[in-house]
Structure 1
Amino acid sequence: MVRLLLAAILALCLSLPALAQDQATLISDSIEITGDTRLIAEGNVEVYFKGRRLAASRISYDQATDRLEITGPIVLTEDSGEVLILASQAELAADLSEGILTSARLVLNRQLQLAANKMTRVAGRTTTLETVAASSCKVCENNPTPLWEIRASRVVHDEVERQIYFDNAQFRLAGVPVFYIPRLRMPDPTLKRATGFLMPSIRTTSDLGTGIKLPYFIVLGQSADLTLTPYITARDSQTLDLRYRQAFATGLITLNGALTRDDLIPGKTRGYLFVDGAFRLPMNFGLTIKGQTVTDPAYLLDYGIANIDRLDSRIEASRTRRNEYISARVISFQTLRESEDNTTIPSIIADLTFHRRFSLGPLGGEGGLRFQTH
């Protein structure tokens, strides 16, 4: 099988000025130039353009219209091998900035796949998909139904704003419709920070059954944000998770918590709250804050939050230097063990530590002074 690389490069330079300006390279088994305006490449066709690779079985370029007709299977990948688009047929502008693809799949940052009957590219910025199924789950021949997916009549992906807009969105769990939203907006996986829905997740346990989590991220200015995550399970458990983060000039603080109503402990509102903070103090001291509380001993394990049997809340100021360590802290313990009772174990402990290391001078070696009190 002959690979007509050199002839293809020359043909591209003559026939595809838009691509030639960006040093496009075409490789194929055969190339035919018909008349003065049409170039046809067939058999294992590959086009390398702007750091991307387009593979197809046939590409036809019409110089008069500056359009490409591509016969699939079509695969567009980055140099890294990351798949961007798959399709069966396409009609595109020569620079690939606009056009129509049929039976297409759009893959975003290796995290989200959108499969559609038709995909339309406009001005190199927006991609519109019709009759769409979106999921981050792997779909294969042996497992054609993803664990979760979003079905929509229409999806628009804005590459500049890095947002995804769904029309008539339907959430499905193992192929079964769970709930419906007329309009849904979520950031695409490449965007680090924007208000909107995040990727759903699925959790299955023996006590709660299968459930879905749908996080909603809220930007509260340049230095704070809030994430609210409804969590609904098949066994009538409703949970609202929250995470609040704020950065200050001298440190940051994070709050994680949840409120739950379930059948594991009927008639009771369950939940937890964890607080973590770290701040810089004058004279090179640091302040750390840690707070932990929970409504009942089983909650953290029931909801997969933490596998711990004691809660540790503390506030500590410390400083570490080359030959010196100073620490003052207050610690509060809450046991979750059935064999222990919080009324009979030390619940609050305070201690002060001073450690100084020094050279022994002419004697050689070094010595140390350590003072600690509880």
Structure 2
Amino acid sequence: MRRRTVAPSARTIPAPPAPACPTLSRRRRLLCAGLYGLSLAGLPFEIARAQIALPSEGHGGAPMQRNEPVTFRADSVSYDSKAGIVTWTGHVEIWQNDHAIRADRVTYDRNSGVAAASGHVAIVEPDGQVLFSDYAELTQGMRQAVMTDMRGIMAMNGKMAANGARRTDGKVNDLSRVVYTACKVCAEHPEHPPFWQIRAYDATDDLEHKRIEYRDVYLDMFGLPVGYLPFFSTPDPSVKRQSGFLLGDISPHDKYLGTYVTVPYFWAIDRESDVTFVPLLSTNTGPQLTAQYRHNFNSGVLRVTGAVAYDTNKTGAYTATNGNQVAAVDDKGVQGYMFAKAQFDWNQYWRYGADVNLASSANYMRDYRITGYGADVLSSDAYIEGFGTGAYSRIDGTAFQGLNAGVINQSELPFVLPRYQYYFTGTPDALGGRFSLGTSDFNIYRANGTSDQRGQLSLNWDRPFHDRWGQIFVFTAHLDSSAYKATKLDLLPNYAGVNAASTAQALPTAALKMNWPFLKSMRNSSVILEPIVQLIAAPNYGNSRNRNIPNEDSLDYEFTDSTLFNINRHEGVDRLDGGLRANYGLHANWTFGSRQVDALVGESLQEHIDRNQLPDTGLQTHASDIVARLRFTPVRYLDFTVRDRFDHNTGRTNFADGLFSAGVPLFSVTGGYIYNRHSFYYYYNNNIYTSAPPQAYLIPTNEGTIGLSSTWKQWHVAGYTRRDLSNNRFVAIGTDASYTNDCFIFDVAFNRRYTTINGDSGDTSILFTLTFKTLGTFPVNG
């Protein structure tokens, strides 16, 4: 058979664009090489791929079959019947099954079954890998092959070259004098070495199991050898998941672990599940074995991470930040933790799941650097939730484990068993209004504190309208109602005057809000001036604390511009705003191009005052504190927002916060600030009604954070500091520097914590991370 159809040959395929050549100085090259040399100790490495697979992923091309038909295409064909030789020339393409070969000339000896290809030879594999050679001999339908001066293009931009290659039975490629890299090669100067490359005396590319094994291996960076391994094994770049050892973690010094090393092993159980085992050995304490299990189901996911360790560290007595004395704890011995998360779809409307976080002790988490250490509590919950048109429903249960023993008492933490929530928003009705309702019911238990049950219902109806003067009105009819049964009300967090009570509350509210925007349009700019007035009428609600109503969802109270026009200015519904009040404010906006100034200032006039309000909330008088907000974006790369609440008589600031960002990628600055006259956390942990509040309550929250960053080409440098201005001390500082290109990432991060947790008065860490594309990440902790 002969076909004259001309197909493009390998030499007509344009090469992908290559980047500019590396121009790093010799000093930088030696520095990078020295850092990497620290992570290699002349030991054999075997690397696995641990990316989780999805059920729909395929397995690659079909294996090479000896008896599959062979099809060819060439410019010309000649046949020597006496010698039994067929010669194809000019853009030759031969394919069998999913395998193909291209060349300028192919000679096939029918007597020996050997096909010799020369001139721009390209062998295309089913997985997309392409092998190039000047000369190749193939037998048994491409199952056996010998190539000289072989080059290969692999997945993930991987490139491999060898002096020679031999294929055996279509399953294994044996390579000699091998070089591999995932970096782009300079097109202007291809003789220049890539950013990094692996050089090996020989290598075996296992096509069946998708694994490459190198022997007598050097790692070169900028053409300079920086590390040596007698044996190195890694999955083929096309592989997403494969069992084997992963790159571990090593640290020459850690505050609690001393010198430690991890040797992870990844087990790909099947296409949907896997487990990673991470043994840890250290010089200062006992070993730890961690396991992480992952499973992707058709209807959900499951993730479980847990560990068991033998901790030999002991914790002595110390004084907590609030002045409490904490006795020594003998918690050494067998320790462990479990973090599990699961979520499954029941059907298109309902799903269920759980998030479980448990640890044997906070000190164990500190010693082994378990994620989550430093928080006050670990929380666990299980839930069922549903989504409908305008509706949401959820039932869940929650438990807490205290970590900060100096501040948190485990017996005072609540168990929420269970909580039910439902919210519904309807479509506009015949009157033009929209009805909505919500309920949040729960049962809360504390061993040492208030235990209570609540049934609650909120109803709401909003009716917007406007007049011919441009005034925009919203009329609201609202009802909050709830019933309670509580015991130990005289304990945390309520400190009421009775031990037990069954109570109920209901508060109907009517409100009318008017926005009257005035717009002035100018060339390339516009100005909006918008007076806002709101009238709210509700029965006087009295002193909620003296009415023995538990408080579970309204503990965190903050009166700012964001709550000025709320029907209920509390976060939840255990505390309600009653009485007659008028809220008013002025909103202004000036937009000119991409620049903008947006401001709001307002105040609340209230006929009724709830004497249970916390000090300095801004609502202790008939005229509230004045709240204000200013957002200013004068140019594209400058933005800041400031919020303030100050006394309307004295002008004293009672609350303030601010955020700003300025700069361009080459250099930028971000910052934040928060101020509050009292630290309200201690209000709920101490009965300040019958005794003086602790000193920590009287110290203002006054804290600032600033961060700097700079990005230039492939370099990035950043740093931050967080400082407690009330106590004139740092909370934390940190820096990070990184270099990134198409095939390599180097990152060094430094962090210093100054706060005291469980007697631990601060911590310092430094982490070096080197990531080689298609090979893995080498972390080194300091």
Cα deviation digits, residues 149-196 of structure 1 (max 9, x gap): 211001011222332221101122232212111122223232622114
Aligned mates of 1:113, 1:226 — CA distance in 2: 31
Q: Which 5+ residue runs of structure 1 have no aligned equivalent?
A: 7-17, 201-213, 230-241, 257-273, 300-304, 335-342
Aligned mates of 2:231, 2:384 — CA distance in 1: 52
Taking a change above 3 Å as real, the CA distance of residues 252 and 160 of structure 1, as seen in their structure-2 partners, is same
Cα deviation digits, residues 113-151 of structure 1 (max 9, x gap): 321010000111110000001122222434642222211
Aligned mates of 1:193, 1:43 — CA distance in 2: 41
Q: Which structure 2 residues correspond to residues 45-194 of structure 1 after superposition, within 5 A?
A: 45-78=92-125, 82-110=128-156, 112-142=158-188, 144-189=192-237, 190=239, 192-194=241-243
Aligned mates of 2:235, 2:207 — CA distance in 1: 10
* Residue in 1 that maps onto 2:381: 316
Structure 1 position 215, deviation (Å)? 9.1
Tell whether the 8 Å contact from 2:213 to 2:233 is kept in structure 1 after alignment. yes
| Code of the aligned partner of 1:57 | D
Q: Which has the larger radius of gyration?
A: 2
Aligned mates of 2:385, 2:207 — CA distance in 1: 47
Aligned mates of 2:222, 2:402 — CA distance in 1: 42
Return the match for 2:276 from 225, 247, 267. Answer: 225
Aligned mates of 2:91, 2:227 — CA distance in 1: 44
Structure 1 position 29, deviation (Å)? 1.8
* Residue in 1 that maps onto 2:341: 278
Q: Which structure 2 residues correspond to residues 20-31 of structure 1 after superposition, within 5 A?
A: 22-31=68-77
Structure 1 position 369, deviation (Å)? 1.9
Taking a change above 3 Å as real, the CA distance of residues 56 and 280 of structure 1, as seen in their structure-2 partners, is closer
| Code of the aligned partner of 1:370 | S
Q: Which structure 2 residues correspond to residues 162-311 of structure 1 after superposition, within 5 A?
A: 162-189=210-237, 190=239, 192-196=241-245, 217-219=265-267, 223-226=274-277, 244-247=291-294, 251-254=302-305, 276-279=339-342, 286-289=353-356
Cα deviation digits, residues 206-259 of structure 1 (max 9, x gap): xxxxxxxx9964439775213699xxxxxxxxxxxx984125899432479xxx
* Residue in 1 that maps onto 2:86: 39
SS in 1 for 2:112: coil
Cα deviation digits, residues 8-38 of structure 1 (max 9, x gap): xxxxxxxxxx999533222222211123410
Q: Which 5+ residue runs of structure 2 have no aligned equivalent?
A: 7-63, 249-261, 281-288, 308-336, 427-433, 443-551, 554-782
Structure 1 position 107, deviation (Å)? 3.8
* Residue in 1 that maps onto 2:656: none
Tell whether the 8 Å contact from 1:220 to 1:226 is kept in structure 2 after alignment. no
Aligned mates of 2:125, 2:172 — CA distance in 1: 19
Tell whether the 8 Å contact from 2:166 to 2:175 is kept in structure 1 after alignment. yes
Tell me which protein shows more strand as a share of its residues: 1
Taking a change above 3 Å as real, the CA distance of residues 60 and 291 of structure 1, as seen in their structure-2 partners, is farther
Tell whether the 8 Å contact from 1:75 to 1:83 is kept in structure 2 after alignment. no
Taking a change above 3 Å as real, the CA distance of residues 277 and 158 of structure 1, as seen in their structure-2 partners, is same
Taking a change above 3 Å as real, the CA distance of residues 185 and 66 of structure 1, as seen in their structure-2 partners, is same
Aligned mates of 2:109, 2:121 — CA distance in 1: 19
Tell whether the 8 Å contact from 1:93 to 1:99 is kept in structure 2 after alignment. yes
Aligned mates of 2:5, 2:152 — CA distance in 1: 29
Cα deviation digits, residues 273-302 of structure 1 (max 9, x gap): x98521479x9863213689998xxx9xxx
Equivalent residue pairs, number? 301
SS in 2 for 1:102: strand
Aligned mates of 1:290, 1:86 — CA distance in 2: 53
Aligned mates of 2:122, 2:152 — CA distance in 1: 10
Q: Does 1:325 align with 2:394?
A: yes
Aligned mates of 2:66, 2:383 — CA distance in 1: 63
Structure 1 position 90, deviation (Å)? 0.5
Tell whether the 8 Å contact from 1:315 to 1:329 is kept in structure 2 after alignment. yes
* Residue in 1 that maps onto 2:702: none
Q: Give the TM-score taking structure 2 as reference length.
A: 0.32
| Code of the aligned partner of 2:384 | R
Structure 1 position 64, deviation (Å)? 0.6
Taking a change above 3 Å as real, the CA distance of residues 197 and 173 of structure 1, as seen in their structure-2 partners, is farther
Q: Give the TM-score taking structure 1 as reference length.
A: 0.62
Aligned mates of 1:146, 1:33 — CA distance in 2: 45
Taking a change above 3 Å as real, the CA distance of residues 228 and 74 of structure 1, as seen in their structure-2 partners, is farther
| Code of the aligned partner of 2:243 | A
Aligned mates of 1:75, 1:228 — CA distance in 2: 45
Aligned mates of 1:29, 1:215 — CA distance in 2: 56
SS in 2 for 1:167: strand
Aligned mates of 2:72, 2:268 — CA distance in 1: 49
Taking a change above 3 Å as real, the CA distance of residues 314 and 24 of structure 1, as seen in their structure-2 partners, is same
Structure 1 position 76, deviation (Å)? 2.1
| Code of the aligned partner of 1:278 | K
Tell whether the 8 Å contact from 2:130 to 2:153 is kept in structure 1 after alignment. yes
> Higher relative contact order by CA 8 Å / sep ≥ 6: 1 or 2?
2
Deviates more, 1:182-191 or 1:45-54: 182-191
Aligned mates of 2:183, 2:290 — CA distance in 1: 25
SS in 2 for 1:95: coil
Taking a change above 3 Å as real, the CA distance of residues 34 and 188 of structure 1, as seen in their structure-2 partners, is same
